[in-house]
Amino acid sequence: ICANNQSAGHYFAVAQNYLDTFKASEEVRVAGGPVYSERFAQNLMRLPYNHNVGETKLAEKWHELMNCRALCRAVEKGDILIMQSIALVTAFVGLLLFLHTSCRLFFIQYNTESINSPLKRWLWHLLGAKVRGVIGTFPEIAQAYGKPYILVPDYIYTTEYPVSFPKFNEREYDICMVGNIYRDKGTAEALRSIIGKGMRIVVAGKVGEPDLEPEIRALAQTDDMVDLQLGYLTDNDYHAILADSKYCILNYRGIYNAHSSGVVYDALFHGTPVLATNTASTRMVQEYGLGISYDNVNDLDVGKLLDAACYVKCQARIAQYLQQQHKIVSQLSDFVHSV
C-alpha cells in the first residue's frame, strides 16, 4: 500500500521477512510497485503500479490486474510464488487470466474475506488447481481454504540467535503505543487508564479515524510524561520506539478477536514485553508468558510494571519463545518445496 509516496501497512515488513527467510537457500525476488524500489533495490521484480490509498475501486482493480499480468510474465517453470496482496479476489482473476506457467503457488491468508461470498468461493475453486497451499496465522482461517496449509506467525524471527536485549534501566519509555491508531486498538482507553501514574509513555503513529485524534491529544495534555508523536512513522522510528520501551501495550478488541497483528511480533523481536487484552492476535502473550494479559485495561497493575523483576522474567520467556521461532524457517522452506 502506498500513501503519499510512503509505504503503509505491514506489506514491506512481510516482504523483507520472507526475503530474509529464503535468501540463504534461494534466489529471491520481491515483486512490488514503484514504492518498493528504494527498500528492495537489489532484489526487486518491479511491477507497474502501486496500490494508492484513496484511488477509485476501478483503478485499484485495473492496477492489480496489470500487476498480475506483469508478474505472471516473469514467472518461470518451477518457481515458488508466494502471494501477499491487498486485493486478493482481483488477484484470483488476474492469475486465472495470466498465469500459464507451471509454478508452486501459495497464498498468505490473514482472514477469510476472499472466500466470504459464493462468487469469491467460485473464483477460489477455479484457481484451486494452480494453488499448492496456504500460509496462515490461525488454523480456523487456513483450514477454510481447503488446501494444505502451514501455520506461520505474521513475522518470522530471522535474527541469529542468541541476541541481547536492552536492560530495564536502559530503556527511555516505560510504555509505548505504536503503529496506526484505530478504535479497535483501544489506544485512547489504554492511555486513559495509565496516565498520571508516574510512567513515561509514548504514543506514536498515524491516526486512522479523525475523530480519535482530538481525544488522544486532550488526554496527553493532562500528563507531562506523555510523548505524543502522531503522524506517519518511518520504519526506523517505529523500531527505535519499540527498542526503547520497557513494555508495549496492545489494548486490542473488535476485529482483533479474529485478526492477526504484526506489532506484537515486532515488540517481541526487540525483547519488549507486551501488555495485551486476551484476543486471538495476542494469544501467545498469555500462552507463553511474554508479558501481561488482561481482560480489562483498568485492571492492569501499573505498580508491577515499575518493578524490574517483572520485566526480567518476561524477557527471559521472550528469549525462549524466539529460540523456538527459529524452527519455523526450516518448516516453511520444507512446506513450499514439498507440497
- H, E, C per residue of 220-240: HCCCCCEEEEECCCCHHHHHH
Which residue type, as a one-letter code, is found at position 5?
A: N
Q: Report the pLDDT value the prediction gives residue 258, as an integer from 0 to 100.
A: 67
Report the C-alpha gap between 87 and 85 in whole angstroms.
5
Q: Report the pLDDT value the prediction gives residue 8, as an integer from 0 to 100.
A: 57
Q: How far is CA 240 from CA 175, 208, 229, 301, in A?
A: 13, 22, 13, 26
Quick one: CA dihedral 79, 333, 135, 263, positive or negative? negative
Quick one: CA dihedral 124, 127, 128, 130, positive or negative? negative
Q: Report the pLDDT value the prediction gives residue 3, as an integer from 0 to 100.
A: 46
Q: How far apart are the first and last CA of the chain?
A: 30
Q: Report the pLDDT value the prediction gives residue 1, as an integer from 0 to 100.
A: 47
DSSP 111: S
Q: Report the pLDDT value the prediction gives residue 170, as an integer from 0 to 100.
A: 94
Q: Report the pLDDT value the prediction gives residue 5, as an integer from 0 to 100.
A: 55
Q: Report the pLDDT value the prediction gives residue 238, as an integer from 0 to 100.
A: 92
The residues, ordered by sequence, that sit 6+ positions from 46 with a Cβ below 8 Å of its Cβ are 31, 32, 33, 34, 36, 37
The residue ranges of the chain whose pLDDT is under 50 are 1-4
Q: Report the pLDDT value the prediction gives residue 110, as an integer from 0 to 100.
A: 85
Q: Report the pLDDT value the prediction gives residue 2, as an integer from 0 to 100.
A: 47
Task: Give, in degrees to the nearest 5, the angle at Cα 51 between 6 and 35.
Answer: 40
Q: Report the pLDDT value the prediction gives residue 24, as an integer from 0 to 100.
A: 83
**pLDDT tens per residue, range 125-138:** 999 889 999 999 88
Which residue type, as a one-letter code, is found at position 100?
A: H
Q: Report the pLDDT value the prediction gives residue 86, as an integer from 0 to 100.
A: 63
Reference 2, options 35, 32, 31; nearest CA is 35
Report the C-alpha gap between 127 and 133 in whole angstroms.
12
